[in-house]
Chain A
Amino acid sequence: EAGVVQSPRYKIIEKKQPVAFWCNPISGHNTLYWYLQNLGQGPELLIRYENEEAVDDSQLPKDRFSAERLKGVDSTLKIQPAELGDSAVYLCASSPGQGRGYEQYFGPGTRLTVT
């Protein structure tokens, strides 16, 4: 069974440029998460989707970050414009259950460097 797929794996951009990350969850998983992880820290939730609905985006910096999950399958996370402090690993995860305490399966992440 294919796992969570993310692309690109690495991205280097200059500050003020836009960037987009793509995620395809495990087939049949209705819940999709986007996390940001800084070195030495745990993942921080940016947004959680139940199907195509964003049910928790309280931690998403909406002035520059946006996300969508059209058709309730794959998802895109965008940053525009990027700032130096956005350099981090962006992880996508999916879960077979809705919210609550279902286990999450993570993709390999996108390592973003903003110069």
Chain B
Amino acid sequence: RKEVEQDPGPFNVPEGATVAFNCTYSNSASQSFFWYRQDCRKEPKLLMSVYSSGNEDGRFTAQLNRASQYISLLIRDSKLSDSATYLCVVSGYSSASKIIFGSGTRLSIRP
């Protein structure tokens, strides 16, 4: 089993729809969680951090479920510009902790 797993997709949804995807992790000691966005042939860019209490930034909501060991990303009122690959990142809290990226979930928004 991979340490961090994501559904590769693609998720193909119409503009204006709500879409959500998850990222599961195997190390229960993981403490830090992030969502990154990566456009085709570009570098990853931080989308948002995932806090224990959840995090909302405009149309984007990230949540952490420690009991089931997954984080989620919800996108409301999706835009064409949301089309990208979404990568989750999981790491521990100490300076020696491993930093692990998921393989990403591809999202395609259609007009």
Complex partner residue of A40 from B34, B99, B103, CB under 8 angstroms: B103
Is the interface on chain A under 10, 10 to 19, 20 to 34, or 35 or more residues? 20 to 34
Is the interface on chain B under 10, 10 to 19, 20 to 34, or 35 or more residues? 20 to 34
- Is A45 part of the contact surface with B, judged by Cβ < 8 Å? yes
Closest to A58 in B: B98
A residues 51-82 touching B (CB-CB < 8 Å): 55-56
* Residue contact B99 to A45, C-beta cutoff 8 Å: yes
* Residue contact B103 to A106, C-beta cutoff 8 Å: no
* Residue contact B32 to A100, C-beta cutoff 8 Å: yes
A residues 2-50 touching B (CB-CB < 8 Å): 33, 35, 40-45, 48, 50
- Also in contact, A42 and B95, with CB within 8 A (given A106-B45, A108-B43): no
* Residue contact A100 to B101, C-beta cutoff 8 Å: no
Chain B residues, Cβ within 8 Å of A101: 31-34, 49, 91, 93
Given contacts A42-B87, A104-B46, A109-B43, 15 further A-B contacts (CB under 8 A): A40-B8, A40-B104, A41-B103, A41-B104, A42-B101, A42-B103, A45-B100, A55-B95, A99-B97, A100-B91, A100-B92, A101-B91, A103-B46, A104-B44, A108-B42
